[in-house]
Amino acid sequence: MMKNDAASSPSEQEKTKETDLGRKVLNALTHNWGWKVGSLALAICLWGVLITQDTSLPRTKTIEDVRVSVTNSAVLRSNGLIVVSGLENLNTVTLRASVPQKNYSSAAAANYIARLDVSQIQSAGEQTLKISATASNASQYGTVLEVIDADVTLVVEEYGTLSGVPVEVRRSGEIPEGIYATSIVRSVESVDISGPKSLVEQAVRCVVNYDQSALSLVRSPNTVSLPFFFEDAEGNVLDSTNFTVNPRGMATSIQRITITQNVYAMTRVKVDENSLLKGEPAEGYAVSNIRVIPTSITLAGSEVAIAPFLEEGAALFPYDPVDISGQTRTVSQIVYLNTPGNMDYISNNSVQVIVTILPEEFVKLSTDSNP
Q: Which amino acid is at 91?
A: N
Q: In the chain, where are the structural domains located?
A: 58-149, 159-261, 266-369
Looking at residue 6, its pLDDT comes to 46
Looking at residue 1, its pLDDT comes to 44
pLDDT tens by residue, 150-159: 999 999 999 9
Which residue ranges of the chain lie beneath pLDDT 70?
1-39, 42-43, 45-56, 365-371
What are the beta bridge partners of residue 143?
Answer: 98
Q: How far apart are CA 353 and CA 331, in angstroms?
A: 8
Looking at residue 223, its pLDDT comes to 93
Architecture of domain 58-149: Beta Complex (2.170)
SS3 at position 309 = helix
Looking at residue 302, its pLDDT comes to 87
DSSP string, 294-319: SSEEEEEE-HHHHGGGGSTT-EE-BS
pLDDT tens by residue, 165-178: 999 999 999 999 88
Looking at residue 156, its pLDDT comes to 95
- CATH code of the domain occupying 266-369: 2.170.120.40
- CATH code of the domain occupying 159-261: 2.170.120.40
